[in-house]
């Protein structure tokens, strides 16, 4: 492990002890789970065991919450500039571990090393550096009083203990979009990562520990979400909950955490809309990224592609040709690979089922459509293009989370907007048109929290407000830069009588 950075006597940045199982980080120390339970991390590309981790439970989660609750007041009382310095140290530690973190991401999650893994690590560094800057810009108000002898001060103060539960599809950046602003705002954190990519989570935690945070300010408990995550979000000592994941799990968390501040980034299903005056080549390239980045395992993936009937056939021809030429499924460690395996069997089975059901009900399979176990694992799934998708098919109604382009022909933008309106989701959509005014009108009418014009659905920037539209199943609140900090702090009013 790199050497511990300079820190005050109250800080702890201990290296994880030798051995596989002390992978919980609680109150400034690495530890095994209560009772010694463990679970294995496996590679989705080969099925091989890559490590053994501590399987935490409710007792471990409670210990972590206790440590966080004890440390939160002092951490919240530190200077924002001191917190910013700690976040900068974390960013530097991540940057120094760039090769290691990218390699672990490829091994544990399955992302292609060169095409995607390094990019996620670079974004991870950005999240902590951005939070460091945002920490020094937390501002309050001095509103007027009706009494001229009084002064009103409104401070923005930390929530206290933030419980964070994160998914496996982006095991570095999704935790960072919650952990970094929570720490910057002066909160203590208890984190339960997804079981499928917990090896990545421990590697990230090691870098965070190098930042020299006070004991108890940052805590990691690996283990099943229905135990560890449930304990965290339901504990009354936890005052705010951040979650990224499916709409189904998000609804459960919202019920369990009733009365707490909630920041929920949930699912979506696009769509990507291509109007009759679109630049077809640009639209096709955006489709490739929208549907095959991270093998389609993204809440902003192009889960539906709506193409104007006037250009439908030309779009299909160019798309199929481009997919066959440019999307390279294979060993994620190979530099030539652009798409790796799916992360887990549950996702692979869902993709297989939805594709099969769509074809049985009349969809046209233009490429792919099956697993490719000959590549080393049953989790490899061919890049797939489906046409003639109807709204009655499961693939049109629910997230697939697999490498599929599900295409439907539409008659103009009005029909596209109707499809968006009927969807239970409202996270992100995109539209392609050469007419900027037309695109802007469409974007303003679309029921989604974010709309891209002439850009794919997987494009977003980490400092901008991101989240689902009110009334949809796509979440609550906004993540992104200072918008996360605003959600993870609250206003405190102080009135001073000068008379």
Backbone angles phi, psi at 335, to 5 degrees: -60, -20
Write out the two tokens for 495. 């009135």
Q: Please give the Cα distance from 482 to 180 (Å, whole number).
A: 11
Q: Taking a C-beta distance cutoff of 8 angstroms, is the pair 296, 329 a contact?
A: no
Question: How deeply is 285 buried, as exposed, middle or buried, from its count of CB atoms within 10 A (0-12, 13-18, 19+)?
Answer: middle
First to last CA, the chain: 59
Active site residue 88: no
From 227, 265, 399, 486, active-site residue: 265
Contacts of 233 (CB under 8 A, 6+ apart): 163, 165, 241, 243, 253, 256, 257, 260
Active site residue 291: no
Q: What sections of 15-168 are H helices per DSSP?
A: 58-76, 80-96, 98-108, 118-135
How would DSSP label each residue in 299-314?
Answer: TTS---EEEETTTHHH
Name the residue among 448, 444, 465, 445 with its Cα closest to residue 457. Answer: 448
What is the distance of C-alpha 322 from the center of its chain?
Answer: 28
Q: Taking a C-beta distance cutoff of 8 angstroms, is the pair 167, 244 a contact?
A: yes
Write out the two tokens for 419. 């499809």
From 299, 303, 413, 486, active-site residue: 299
Q: Please give the Cα distance from 219 to 34 (Å, whole number).
A: 15
Name the residue among 458, 379, 368 with its Cα closest to residue 110. Answer: 379
417-448 core/surface letters (b: 16 or more CB in 10 A; e: else): bebbeebebbbbbbbbbeeeeebeebbeebbb
Query: Three-state DSSP class for 101?
Result: helix
Catalytic residues: 265, 299
């Amino acid at each position: 492990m790199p050497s511990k950075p300079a820190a005050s006597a109250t800080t702890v940045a201990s290296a994880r002890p030798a051995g596989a199982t002390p992978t919980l980080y609680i109150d400034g120390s690495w530890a095994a789970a209560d009772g010694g339970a463990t679970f294995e991390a496996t590679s989705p590309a080969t099925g091989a065991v890559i490590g053994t981790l501590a399987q935490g439970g409710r007792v471990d989660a409670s210990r972590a919450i206790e440590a966080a609750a004890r440390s939160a007041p002092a951490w919240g009382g530190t200077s924002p500039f001191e917190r910013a310095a700690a976040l900068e140290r974390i960013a530097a530690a991540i940057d120094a571990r760039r090769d290691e973190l990218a390699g672990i991401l490829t091994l544990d999650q399955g992302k292609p090393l060169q095409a995607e893994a390094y990019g996620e690590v670079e974004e991870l560094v950005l999240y902590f550096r951005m939070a460091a800057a945002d920490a020094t810009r937390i501002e309050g108000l001095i509103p007027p009083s009706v009494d001229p002898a009084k002064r009103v001060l409104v401070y923005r103060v930390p929530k206290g203990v933030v419980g964070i539960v994160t998914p496996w599809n982006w095991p570095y950046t999704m935790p960072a979009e919650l952990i970094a602003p929570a720490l910057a705002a002066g909160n203590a954190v208890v984190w339960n990562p997804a079981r499928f990519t917990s090896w990545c989570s421990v590697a990230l935690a090691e870098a965070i520990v190098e930042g020299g945070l006070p004991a108890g300010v940052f805590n990691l408990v690996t283990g099943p979400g229905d135990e560890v995550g449930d304990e965290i979000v339901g504990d009354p000592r936890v005052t705010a909950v951040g979650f990224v994941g499916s709409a189904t799990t998000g609804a459960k968390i919202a019920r369990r955490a009733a009365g707490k501040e909630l920041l929920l980034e949930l699912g979506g299903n696009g769509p990507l809309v291509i109007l009759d005056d679109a630049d077809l080549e640009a639209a096709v390239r955006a489709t490739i990224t929208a549907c095959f980045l991270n093998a389609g395992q993204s809440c902003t993936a192009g889960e539906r592609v709506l193409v104007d009937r006037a250009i439908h056939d030309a779009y299909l021809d160019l798309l199929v040709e481009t997919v066959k030429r440019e999307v390279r499924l294979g060993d994620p460690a190979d530099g030539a690979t652009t798409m790796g395996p799916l992360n887990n069997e549950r996702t692979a089975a869902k993709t297989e089922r939805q594709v099969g059901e769509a074809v049985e009900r009349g969809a046209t399979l233009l490429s792919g459509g099956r697993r490719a176990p000959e590549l080393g694992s049953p989790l490899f799934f061919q890049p797939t293009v489906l046409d003639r998708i109807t709204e009655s098919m499961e693939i049109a109604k629910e997230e697939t989370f697999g490498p599929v382009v599900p295409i439907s022909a539409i008659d103009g933008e009005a029909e596209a907007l109707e499809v968006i309106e009927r969807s239970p989701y409202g996270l992100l959509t995109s539209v392609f048109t050469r007419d900027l005014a037309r695109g802007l009108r469409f974007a303003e009418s679309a029921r989604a929290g974010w709309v891209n014009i002439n850009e794919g659905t997987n494009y977003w920037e980490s400092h901008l407000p991101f989240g689902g539209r009110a009334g949809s199943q796509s979440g609550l609140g906004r993540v992104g830069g200072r918008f996360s900090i605003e959600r993870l702090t609250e206003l405190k009013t102080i009135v001073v009588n000068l008379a």
